[in-house]
Amino acid sequence: MTPEYPPESEAFRQSIREFLDANLPEGWTGLGGLPTEEVLAFLEQWRKLLHQHHLLAPQWPAEYGGGGLSNLETVIQFEEFAQRGAPTGGPNDVFNIGMIGNTILHWGTPEQKSHYIPKLLSNEHIWCQGYSEPNAGSDLAGVGCKVVLDGDEWIINGQKIWTTYGHLANHIFVVGRTEVGVERPHAGLTFLLVDMDQPGVEVRPIKMMSGDSEFNEVFFTDVRCPKENILGEPNKGWAVAMTLLGFERGEAGAVLPIRFREELDRLVELAKETGRNTDPLTRQRIAWCYSKVEIMRYLGMRTLTQFLAGKELGPDAAITKLFWSEYHKVVNELAVDILGPAAMVPSGRWPSNSISCDDPGSPNDSASWIGTMYSSMGGTIYAGTSQIQRNIIGERILGLPKEPSGR
């Protein structure tokens, strides 16, 4: 493997660097250097700037407001942004662009693409994810949110939970059950595009241990959705849902290692500041973390190679997701041990999002690390639990027998 780009790509890389030089504030060190209210203000203006320059969704077709860039150019842009600690979008674009936007482009009709894509790029539509349910957990095939066709409309009744940013969104993509009593549990599901600004939709924030309310419960009582507002076919929403999860789990495989390395560098500085860098056990644990970040870097190169070859992310995306989410718990546990008593009375600034490595320039204070430690625990749950990822790897990659039902 030769991790080098063709010479002709360097001109585009230089253009991205010039864009960042011209538009990032002087002395930019990342979002971590800003107070919380300034973070939100910056992200709002930055997102508008990216949209104006067609860099918000660089790989999307230009006819829908994307940049029309090649896969290679898209990766180069994301790499340069990651190196400079520049956000690639707004707080909700993991849903608007990374998940539902990509999925609409893959599965949507021409009418759906023309209607939804410009609105989610402009942020007129703000999306959240309606997958998990209280009685199903990470078993997407076990969802029970009832959806019935009534003339030209679907009628939705049920509940979703752990809905990130549901209190900020005005649209939700819902996996609901349109057929019951099917032999295979993943059959009979339909993928719906639902307007939340209507009677019957109730959003209840969930208080987290950090004190924030990023997650929500969403209740549907006779909520209506036009018949045509589904992706794919009725009762065949499982394939659409899996496409979206592939985008969610694997899209950042080539970029996350850069940010995890920045986070590890901060951890090394923390060890030096606290005098723990001379402790043999701490040094050994940091070396272990370094080895995992390097493994992620090579996993990222493999993902990049597949991406550049035009291959869609398949079940192997589960490997990357499992690896980084399990690692992130361990590195943050080490940070808490290095902080020692300071971890019990955190001070400073909490991270501005759920993974501090998405926020290069985070301050090296106890609040930043403790907030990230809290969030890292959820990394092994959202986008499919570690148990689900191991099943995918075992059954769909290694060809092992399926896990017995009822266990």
Specify whether 362 is located in the same domain as 391.
Answer: yes
Last residue of one domain, picked from the residues 212, 244, 276: 244
pLDDT of residue 41: 87
Q: Is 276 left (phi over 0), alpha (psi -120 to 50) or beta?
A: alpha
Strands (E), 41-80: none
The answer to whether position 117 is within a domain reads no
Q: How many domains does the chain have?
A: 3
Burial of 317 (0-12, 13-18, 19+ CB in 10 A): buried
- Whole-number Å distance between alpha carbons of 299 and 151: 49
pLDDT along the chain (407 residues), means of 10: 73 95 88 71 93 93 90 85 87 90 95 95 96 83 92 97 93 95 84 98 88 89 97 94 71 72 92 95 98 90 72 76 93 95 81 47 77 86 85 91 71
**257 and 239 within one domain:** no
How far is 238 from 175, CA to CA, in rounded Å? 8
In a domain, 116, yes or no: no
Same domain, 286 and 378: yes
Residue 371 pLDDT = 84
Tell me what pLDDT residue 239 has: 92
Same domain, 223 and 274: no
Q: Are residues 140 and 186 in the same domain?
A: yes
In a domain, 233, yes or no: yes
Same domain, 135 and 217: yes
Find, among 256, 372, 358, 262, the residue nearest to 317 by Cα: 256
Write out the E strands in 207-307.
215-226, 230-231
- Give domain status of residue 170, yes or no: yes
CATH number at residue 23: 1.10.540.10
Same domain, 169 and 229: yes
277 and 218, same structural domain?
no
* Number of neighbouring beta carbons within 10 Å of residue 255: 22
CATH code of the domain in which 204 resides = 2.40.110.10
Confidence (pLDDT) at 360:
47
CB 99 within 8 A of CB 244: yes
Judgement on whether residues 279 and 358 belong to the same structural domain of the protein: yes
Residue 109 resides in a domain:
no
pLDDT for 197 equals 97
Q: Is residue 386 part of a domain?
A: yes
- Which of the residues are catalytic? 248
Please give the model's pTM, rounded to 2 decimal places: 0.84
d(CA 240, CA 272): 48
Same domain, 236 and 157: yes
pLDDT score for 33: 57
- What pLDDT, on the 0 to 100 scale, is given for residue 203? 97
CA 207 → CA 187, 202, 245, 374, distances in Å?
Answer: 34, 16, 26, 13
CATH number at residue 256: 1.20.140.10
Please report whether residue 118 resides in a domain.
no
39 within some domain? yes
Give the domain-ending residue among 227, 244, 261. Answer: 244
Domain assignment of residue 260, given as a range: 252-397
Q: How far apart are CA 282 and CA 277, in angstroms?
A: 7
Decide: 392 and 318 in contact? Cβ < 8 Å: yes
Please choose, from the candidates 173, 242, 167, 256, the residue with its C-alpha nearest in 3D space to the C-alpha of residue 212. 167
What confidence score (pLDDT) does residue 356 get? 39
Are both 216 and 340 inside the same structural domain?
Answer: no
**Phi, psi dihedral angles at 406 (to 5 degrees):** 85, 5
Are 81 and 133 part of one and the same domain?
no
Longest Cα–Cα distance of the chain, Å, equals 71
Q: Which of 244, 277, 297 is the last residue of a domain?
A: 244
Rounded distance, CA 233 to CA 239, Å? 10
